[in-house]
Chain A
C-alpha cells in the first residue's frame, strides 16, 4: 500500500490550546504549517514561539495566508471552535481541491436554523438542521475525504509530553492510515474507527456530562455521585447519539468513555470548570465573560436538549443542566429531581 510519500508539510488551522498541541504532536514526524486568522497574533507567536502557553516545536511554521496553507499541504487539521467552524471552511473552500484530506479536532455542533430560540416549545431542532463538523466540511467544500480526532486529549497534558492516545475516525481507510502515520509516536497512540459520525458525536456529547461533573464537585459531592453521573451520562450519550446517526460502539471506545472519564475528572477541562462555577452560584454570563477559550459544552447543552425533545429521547441530565444554565433552576433542586427520576433498567442497548 505504501506509495511514495511526499515531503509536503501538514496543515493545522487554529491557534487555540488544542490546535497548538496538535501542531506540536504532528511536528514530531513532519514539518507543520500552522494557520491563524489574526495577523497580530500570528506575528506575536512568530516572535515568541509560544502559542496558548505552549512552546512551539521548531518545525512549526506560522502563516496568516490561507492560500499558502492549502497549496502547501495535502492534509489539513482544522481545530477551531464550532461557532466559527463554518465561516473558517467557507474562507478555506475556494482553495481546497478534491485531493485534500481534512481531519478536524472540533467538538461541537453546527446549527443551521433561522430560529432565535432553538428550545421553543413545539419548534425543536431535528437532525436535518444540525451538522457535525465533517458534514460542514462536505457541505461547504469539494473535500469528501474527511475525518476527526477525538479522545482523552487534554491540551495541557499533551503539551507536557505525557503518554496519551486518540482516535482518528473516517469512513476512508486511507484517511485513518494517514492520520496514524502523521500523529503516531512513542508517546502518542492512534486508533482508527470507521464510524466518523459516532466518534464526532461522542466528542461533542461528552462535554455535557463534563459540565454536570463539574457541578457535582461544585456542590461538594464525592466520587459515588461522579460514578453515578458518568455511567448514566454515558447511557444518555448513547441514546442521543444513536438517534443522530452514531453507533453504540463509538461511545464505549476511547472517544466515548475514554474522553468522558478524563473530562469529568479533570479540573483542566473548560467544560468541567463551567459546571463547577455554576454550582458555586456564578451566573452563566459571568462565567462566559471570564473565560479565555470557548467551552463547547454550553452550546452543546442547548442543541442536545432541543434534539432530545424533538426525538423524545430520555435525557434527564441534559434537560436539568439546561434548566440550571438557562432557566435559573438551582443546582440542588436539579439534583433532587435527578435522584427521583424513575430509571428501572441499567443498560438496555448492548
Chain B
C-alpha cells in the first residue's frame, strides 16, 4: 500500500551560521534590559491612552475587578499561586488611596500601573536558551520522524528504521528560496493559517527545514501547563499569551513585547486568525492586534533609521494543507453551537494533563496522512509583494518606497488611526493570499462535492436541518458523484488559471476514478465515523455529516457553491 522512498535530504543550509548571530539570542542575552524596556514603554503607552488620572484609575479598577473574577471563575493549573494575593493587594491599595489627597492618589495609581505591567511582562517574556533550543529541536525532529516511521510502516519496529523522515511526510512548496533571502536582509513575520494544535510544531519544523533562525511566537498559556512542554516552548522562543486576559493593560503590554522584539529584528510568528479555525474554513477575518505591532515597529524602524538603510519587515503568509485534522469533530460541533451565541463561549483548557497532550501528539503523528505546507511570497506591511532584495513592488513591478506611506507633509509621522487602517488593509490582503496559496487536493474536492450534492438534494432545509438528517437518507449514486466531481475539478482548474487557488500535483496526474477513490479514502481518514465512504453498492455515503461539513468548508469562499 505504501511506496517507500528513500528520503532525499532537502533540508536547507542555515541562513545564519551560528546562534550568536541569531536576533533571538541577542535578545535573550539582554533579557533583563529587554523586559525593563517593555515595562517602561508599555507604561508610557498606557498613560498616553488613558491620559487623565481619573481614567487611569478607572482602568486599573476594571482590570483588578476582571482579574479577580477570572481567578475565581476560570482558574488554570499554570496560574501562579500568589495571584489572588497580588490582586487583593491592588484592591487594598486602591481602597486605601481613596482617603488621600488627589495628587497622592495619582501617584498611587501610577505606581500600581507599573506594578501590574511589570507582573504581566515577566509572565509574558520567553526565556530562550540556544543550547536548549538545539537540544529541543533535535529531540523534536528525531522523535517525530521516528514516530512517523512507526506509523507509516504500521509496526513498532519501524520506529528504529531510518527510512522515512519528516521531509517525506511534510511537503513544503512555494517560495522557499525567496523567504530564505528575505530572512537575511530583514525581519520576517510569518503568518500561517491555524487549523490544529499541532500547527506550531509543524511550523517549527518548516522554519528549521528552511534553515531559518528561530522565530519567537506567542503560545497559549495553557500549553505551559505541562512542564515537559513548557521546557520545549521556552527553549523554542515562545512567549506566553493568556487569552483569558482581555484587559487593556495586558493587551498593550503584550503588543509592546512583540513590537520591541520586532524592532530588534526577531523573526516572529503570529497566527493572525487568533484561534484554530473551528469551522474548517480558511481565515476570513484576522485579529489585528499583533499585526498592528508589526506596522508600528516598521514605522519606528523607518523613523529611527536616519541615514542607514532601515530594516524592513516582511510578512510571509503560510497555508497548511491537512487531509485530516484530529480535532475536527469537536471543533465543528463547537462552531455550530457557538454560532450566534459566541458571548457565552469560555476559553477552556483542553490540555490539562501531560497524558492528554502526549496522547494527542502521538495520535496526530501516527495517524496524520501526508500534508503540504504552502509558503507564500513575502510582502511589505502594505501588502505589496517584495523581490529577493526586499524591494517593494507595485502592480507593474516598479519599486516603491514604502516609508512614503508613513509620511505626511514630507515627514514620517506617528498616526495610530492611519496605521490601524493599513493593518486592516494588510489583513484583507492576507485573507486573499491564503485563498490563493491554499492547495486543493482530491480529498478536499471529494468532501466539497459530496456535501454540496447533499445540500442540493434537500434544498428546502437550512444547514441545521440538513445536519440533523438521518444518515440513511444521505446516499449519492456513484455515477452522479462522478459527473459532479468531474465538473468540480474543472471549476478548480478554472480558479487555478486565474491564480485564485493552487492545485496538488495528483489532481493533474491521476485519472478521474482514481482521484475519486483517493479523495474519498483520505477525507478525514482516521476518524472513527468516516465523513465520506463507499457503501456496499459502491455508492457514496457518510457516517458523520457534520465532520464532512468541516472538511467541505476548506473550499468555502471561492464562490463554488453558487454554481
Binding site for B on A (CB under 8 A): 3-6, 8, 74, 94, 97-99, 101, 140-142, 144-145, 171-174, 178
Contacts and interface: CB of A to CB of B under 8 A. Distances in A.
Given A3-B408, A173-B418, A174-B415, A98 B425 contact: no
Contacts of B136: none
Interface residues of B, number: 22
Contacts of B402: 98
Interface in B438-495: none
Contact of A3 (B382, B411, B422): B411
Contact of A97 (B401, B409, B425): B401
Grouping DSSP codes into helix (H, G, I), strand (E, B) and loop, the A interface class, with mixed when no group exceeds half, is loop
Nearest to B407: A99
A18 to B, nearest CB: 26
B400 A144 contact: no
24 contacts: A3-B409, A3-B411, A4-B411, A5-B409, A6-B410, A8-B409, A74-B408, A74-B409, A94-B398, A97-B401, A98-B401, A98-B402, A98-B404, A98-B405, A99-B404, A99-B405, A141-B394, A142-B384, A144-B405, A144-B425, A171-B421, A172-B421, A174-B408, A178-B408
Interface of B: 382, 384, 394-395, 398, 400-402, 404-405, 407-411, 413, 415, 417-418, 421-422, 425
A129 to B, nearest CB: 14
B394 A142 contact: yes
Contact of B417 (A6, A97, A98, A172): A172
A174 B400 contact: no
B126 to A, nearest CB: 35
Contacts of A178: 408
Contacts of B400: 97-98, 142
Interface centre among B398, B402, B421 (most CB of A within 10 A): B421
B425 to A, nearest CB: 7
Contact of B410 (A99, A144, A171, A174): A99
Contact of A172 (B409, B411, B413, B418): B418
B224 to A, nearest CB: 39
Contacts of A8: 409
A37 B408 CA distance: 28
A172 to B, nearest CB: 6
Contacts of B384: 142
A323 to B, nearest CB: 29
B11 to A, nearest CB: 38
Contacts of B418: 145, 172-174
A172 B421 CA distance: 7
A141 to B, nearest CB: 8
A101 B413 CA distance: 15
Contacts of A3: 408-409, 411, 413
B382 A144 contact: yes
A73 to B, nearest CB: 12
A144 B410 CA distance: 16
Nearest to A178: B408
Contacts of B408: 3, 74, 99, 101, 174, 178
